[in-house]
Structure 1
Amino acid sequence: MDDTFRRLVEINVMGRVMAACSARGISDPGLLAQYNSTVLQAIQASMSDVCTPAEFDEILRRQMEWLEQEFDSSLQQLTVPPRQPEAEADTEEPPESESEPEPEPEPEPEPEPEPEPEPEPEPEPEPEPEPE
């Protein structure tokens, strides 16, 4: 591969890596350099000495798909808590921050008022005994 083509490959890879990183909020220069170097080495190892631009484009596309899948996989691992097997899930309480808020308890129905007791009938007066 001649120097001009090699330099074009480096610039193309650098731009693609930078675009993929910035789309995911990655702006650390050290990380950008590391990702760029990794992708560039993988591409150069895949290219033959006589590589056409079409072959290079296909190799670059595959490497960028791989890098983006790795980004997305890493991001998902950071944001989604690991699932526990159901047997373990019964024994451990989930952390407070991850639990769903409990629904408010339904208000208890008001007790019905007790019926007032019926007034007792007044006792009938006892008849007076008759004198003898």
Structure 2
Amino acid sequence: MNTVLIVDDHSDIRRLISITLGNEYHILEAEDGVSALAAVRHHHPKVVLLDIMMPGEIDGLQVLQAIKADPDTRDTLVGMITARGQVADHDDARARGADAYFIKPFSPLQVVTWVRNHLK
């Protein structure tokens, strides 16, 4: 079973995505950048769904950059889920290696469809 890591400082967002993904995947959750990176390095998820704006030392863009810079994790699919909807934000995330960019409020079905399509 493929592992999906959901990273958001809001538990309701993590829960919404987790419920929408159903029992198809092994779901892990993290609420900040530091715990997200630890989970990526320890569990090697196939997909990370990652918020940009989170409390703590590391934001989502830094997590994305670390995932894509590490030879052991660079093939991990990363979908950004964020309130940052400006074109420049989207372009910045793509330049750092984001595989998808979903703007809050997002469609959970759209996220799940993206995950399913990329894990076939």
TM-score, length-scaled by structure 2: 0.31
* Rg larger for: 1
Q: Hey, which of these two has a bigger chunk of helix by percent?
A: 1
Q: Hey, which of these two has a bigger chunk of strand by percent?
A: 2
